[in-house]
């Protein structure tokens, strides 16, 4: 019934608010930061003004904001910010006024909007078609300009506070690098500190959502997940431009390619996927810079291999926090899918006592999490809508754990899974193969691949 009502709401909102306008953007030097404000409006009825701020650092060439090519980067940041505001009513037309978009670029944005909002459409019970859900119209002939500047082979490394970015920092240790954080939290700086850097070495970006959007959400407008990692990608381009470091090294693994809802191809992690990585590299080269290089350093690895690497980096154990529920409180909530997956995938490689200290409890003993475990192991039609690994990776980690018990009583979740599989879990996945896997679909150069392989000891 809720989804049926949302379909009616969707149709009604699209009729009542038939267009969305990207009016303009402007930047301002506020002394300690460069602030960028975007101006959107929903059919003339609601006006949104989200803001991002880049904190000033000596290593940032903030004078570049006077370069017209920087306007192109800021404009594209606004194109991604727009998604969060467009989805409130899903108007059939988006009118773009700052820059012209040709047909290829327009189609690129439509693909990102459609796939990046796949979870939003699915959970709201909406059934848009990719060919007619959105028309993008540009009302100017002003052409975007590519950035022309000299670059070094340094790295921008987005740090979210989880294990993956910690591994990337270690893989690239000794290279020129600047971490990048968005709306920083303590785990991000703790991770950066253990890598031998400080907040003073970090590109810090603050992002403010217009409170009007939150008000519309409370008033019953449409709401849901947006492709945040696409925003991270575009902010990485901004950071690369300001630092002169050409490489943007993400920490997205091969596992991000697996659909959350297999039947519909809906992927919570679409903007972390190999498909998006390829698309974004194309867009960067076509529209932003011939020299900026976007790629994921951990793309060759599955979550099991990343966990085994992280287990050899104990300095980060009590620094990382990637829980979306309690991360702002510098904690793991111990109840969500992300916490449970992280605990499970690390369990074969880090001892139970250490993990219990890290997470605040032994999550494998919590019977209330059996429903989440069933989702993560393929006993339901959907995986959890969170950044968790593949069904096969979760099964492989559980298999490795179960082998240790040899008839002894298992923790509640292991016992539950053992019963669900009728004791046949070891035939479910190729654990040995997963522990040696190295995906060849990646954009690492030979040096980067050698650095990664040297840590794996293959």
pLDDT tens digits along 116-160: 999 999 999 999 999 989 999 999 999 999 999 999 999 999 999
Residues 239 and 382 in one domain: no
Instruction: Using a cut of 0.85, tell me whether the model's pTM lies above it.
Output: yes
Pair (222, 268) in one structural domain:
yes
The proportion of the chain whose per-residue pLDDT surpasses 70, expressed as a percent, equals: 98
Domain membership of residue 314 (yes or no) is no
Considering the domain architecture, whether residues 236 and 278 belong to the same structural domain is answered as yes
| DSSP character string of 385-426 | SSS---HHHHHHHHHHHHTTTTTSPPPHHHHHHHHHTTT-GG
Residue that wins the pLDDT comparison between 426 and 210: 210
How far lies 453's CA from each of 173, 194, 390, 439, in Å?
Answer: 14, 22, 22, 12
Tell whether 222 and 89 lie within a shared domain: yes
Residue 1 banded pLDDT, cuts 50, 70, 90: low
Task: Report the length, in residues, of the chain.
Answer: 458
CB crowding 236-252: b at 16 or more within 10 Å, else e? bbbbbbbbbbbbbbbbb
Q: 333 and 268 share a domain?
A: no
Q: State what percent of residues in the chain have pLDDT above 90.
A: 90
d(CA 65, CA 79): 18
- Whether 43 and 161 map to the same domain: the answer is yes
State residue 165's pLDDT score.
97
Phi, psi of 343 (to 5 degrees): -65, -45
* C-alpha–C-alpha distance, residues 350 and 357, integer Å: 11
Average pLDDT over residues 74-80: 98
- Ramachandran angles phi, psi of 186, nearest 5°: -50, -40
What is the mean pLDDT of the segment spanning 163-188?
97
pLDDT at 404 over 90: no
Is 278 inside any structural domain? yes
Is the confidence at residue 455, as pLDDT, over 60? yes
Q: For residues 294 and 172, what is the distance between their CA atoms, to the nearest angstrom?
A: 15
- Region 81-85: what's the mean pLDDT? 98
Q: How far apart are CA 304 and CA 345, in angstroms?
A: 6
Residue 34 pLDDT: 98
> Is 445 part of any domain?
no
- Is the predicted pLDDT of residue 213 greater than 80, yes or no? yes
Q: Are 75 and 23 in contact (CB under 8 A)?
A: no
Mean pLDDT of the chain: 95
Check residue 193 and give its pLDDT: 97
Looking from the CA of 111 toward its CB, the CA atoms found within 13 Å total 14
pLDDT of the residue at 50: 98
For residues 162 and 47, state if they share a domain. Answer: yes
pLDDT of residue 270 exceeding 80: yes
Same-domain pairing of 252 and 327: no
User: pLDDT band at 425, cuts 50/70/90?
Assistant: low
Residue 458 domain-assigned (yes or no): no
pLDDT at position 381, please?
A: 92
Instruction: Report how many domains make up the chain.
Output: 2
Separation CA 265–CA 109 (nearest Å): 19
Domain boundaries, position 343 = 322-437
- Distance from C-alpha of 271 to C-alpha of 116, rounded to nearest angstrom: 7
Judge if 115 and 198 occupy the same domain: yes
Q: How many angstroms separate the CA atoms of 410 and 435, rounded?
A: 23
Q: Is 244 helix (H, G, I), strand (E, B) or coil?
A: coil
> Is 452 within the bounds of a domain?
no
Per the structure block, which two tokens stand in for 87? 């989805």
Which residues are CB-neighbours of 65 under 8 A, at least 6 positions away? 27, 29, 34
Boundary (domain end) residue, out of 255, 281, 296? 296
The mean-pLDDT minimum among 86-95, 192-201, 412-421 falls in: 412-421
With a cut of 90, say whether residue 405 has pLDDT above it: no
* Residues facing 266 on adjacent strands: 261
Residue 152's beta-bridge partner residues?
Answer: 245
Residues 356 and 286 reside in one and the same domain: no
- pLDDT at 234 exceeding the cut of 70: yes
State how far the Cα of 260 lies from the Cα of 390, in Å rounded to an integer: 9
Residues 348 and 207 in one domain: no
Co-location of 282 and 338 in the same domain: no
Q: Is residue 311 part of a domain?
A: no
pLDDT at 364 over 90: yes
* 127 located within any domain: yes
Could you tell me if residue 106 is inside a domain? yes
């Amino acid at each position: 019934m809720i989804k049926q009502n949302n379909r009616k709401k969707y149709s009604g909102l699209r009729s009542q608010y038939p267009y969305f306008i990207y009016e303009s953007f402007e930047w301002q030097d506020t002394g300690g930061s460069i602030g960028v404000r975007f101006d959107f409006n929903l059919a003339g009825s609601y006006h949104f003004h989200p803001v991002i701020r880049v904190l000033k650092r000596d290593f940032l060439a903030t004078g570049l904001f006077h370069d017209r090519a920087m306007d192109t980067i800021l404009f594209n940041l606004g194109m991604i910010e727009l998604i969060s505001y467009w989805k409130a009513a899903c108007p059939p037309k988006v009118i773009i006024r700052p820059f012209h978009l040709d047909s290829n670029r327009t189609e690129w944005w439509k693909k990102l909007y459609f796939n990046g909002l796949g979870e939003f459409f699915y959970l709201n019970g909406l059934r848009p078609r990719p060919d007619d859900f959105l028309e993008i119209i540009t009302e100017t002939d002003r052409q975007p300009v590519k950035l022309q500047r000299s670059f070094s082979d340094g790295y921008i490394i987005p740090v979210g506070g989880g294990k993956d970015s910690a591994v990337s920092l270690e893989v690239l240790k000794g290279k020129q690098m600047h971490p990048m954080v968005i709306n920083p939290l303590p785990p991000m700086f703790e991770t950066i500190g253990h890598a031998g850097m400080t907040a003073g070495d970090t590109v810090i970006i603050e992002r403010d959502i217009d409170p009007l959007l939150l008000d519309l959400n409370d008033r019953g407008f449409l709401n849901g997940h947006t492709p945040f990692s696409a925003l991270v990608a575009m902010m990485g381009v901004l950071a690369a431009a300001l630092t002169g470091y050409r490489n943007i090294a993400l920490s997205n693994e091969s596992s991000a390619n697996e659909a959350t809802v297999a039947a519909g191809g809906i992927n919570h992690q679409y903007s972390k996927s190999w498909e998006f990585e390829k698309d974004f590299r194309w867009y960067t080269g076509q529209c932003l810079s011939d020299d900026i290089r976007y790629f994921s350093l951990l793309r060759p690895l599955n979550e099991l291999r990343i966990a085994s690497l992280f287990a050899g980096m104990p300095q980060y154990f009590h620094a990382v926090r990637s829980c979306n529920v309690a991360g702002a409180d510098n904690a793991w909530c111990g109840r969500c899918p992300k916490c449970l997956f992280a605990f499970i995938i690390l369990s074969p490689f880090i001892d139970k006592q250490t993990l219990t200290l890290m997470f605040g409890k032994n999550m494998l003993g919590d019977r209330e999490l059996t429903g989440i475990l069933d989702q993560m192991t393929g006993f339901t039609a959907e995986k959890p809508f969170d950044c968790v690994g593949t069904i096969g990776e979760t099964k492989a980690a559980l298999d490795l754990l179960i082998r240790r018990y040899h008839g002894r009583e298992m923790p509640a979740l292991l016992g539950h899974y053992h019963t669900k599989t009728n004791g046949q879990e070891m035939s479910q996945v190729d654990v040995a193969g997963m522990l040696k896997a190295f995906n060849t679909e990646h954009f690492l150069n030979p040096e980067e691949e050698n650095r990664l392989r040297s840590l794996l000891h293959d």
